[in-house]
Amino acid sequence: MLSKVLSKASCAECRFCCSFRRSSLWELPRLPAEFAEKYKTDTEGKEIRYIFDECGGVPFAVTDLTGGYKTDDPAEEVKCPFLDPRRGCILPPEDKPFDCSIWPLRYMRREDGSLVTALTPTCPEINKLPQERLTELLDGGLRGQIEAYAKEHPYMIKPYREGFPVLG
């Protein structure tokens, strides 16, 4: 969805958003519950553990990476079960989590209840672009797509975090 501003090549090389420190586990893509039924093993054939929850009556799943850390180092990262170190994300486009397809954008709820599209400040690639490019993309239809998805899948809305620039 962001291919107009982020090239596939630069994302494939970086993969920053597909590995997670303990402190960034909240960033894991939230998945439709049926996704967890379909994908039971990771890129090495090992069973994937999921955490199940619901939001607004809509069930969802998140991969459980907590057992993957080998040290107490807060900088240690565990990769998403769908990230192949050589091929990148192994999921077909139709199963790519919506959260991943709009990264580094996030749809967030502020304390006053308002919903905003915000930018993850740590994406190394997007920060090379002027923010106006992203605003143009949102105004060109992406904002509507995100809002429509969030209506059907309210679990994708994350609590707003300080430091995330709001794009509107």
Q: Which residues bind ligand SF4 (CB under 6 A)?
A: 18, 29, 80, 82-83, 89, 91, 97, 100
Determine the Cα–Cα distance for residues 139 and 157; give it in Å rounded to an integer: 19
Determine the Cα–Cα distance for residues 156 and 164; give it in Å rounded to an integer: 16
- Residue (80 or 105) nearer to ligand SF4, CB: 80
Q: How far is the CB of 117 from ligand SF4 (least distance, A)?
A: 19
* Residue pair 41/31 in contact by the 8 Å Cβ criterion: no
Q: How far is the CB of 166 from ligand SF4 (least distance, A)?
A: 23
CA atoms within 13 A on the CB side of 148: 5
In angstroms and rounded to an integer, the radius of gyration of the C-alpha atoms of the chain is 16
Q: How far is the CB of 87 from ligand SF4 (least distance, A)?
A: 10
- Residue (100 or 123) nearer to ligand SF4, CB: 100
SS3 state of residue 84: strand
Tokens representing residue 17 in the block: 């958003």
- Residue (99 or 157) nearer to ligand SF4, CB: 99
Q: How far is the CB of 112 from ligand SF4 (least distance, A)?
A: 30
- Residue (29 or 104) nearer to ligand SF4, CB: 29
Q: How far is the CB of 154 from ligand SF4 (least distance, A)?
A: 20
- Residue (92 or 130) nearer to ligand SF4, CB: 92
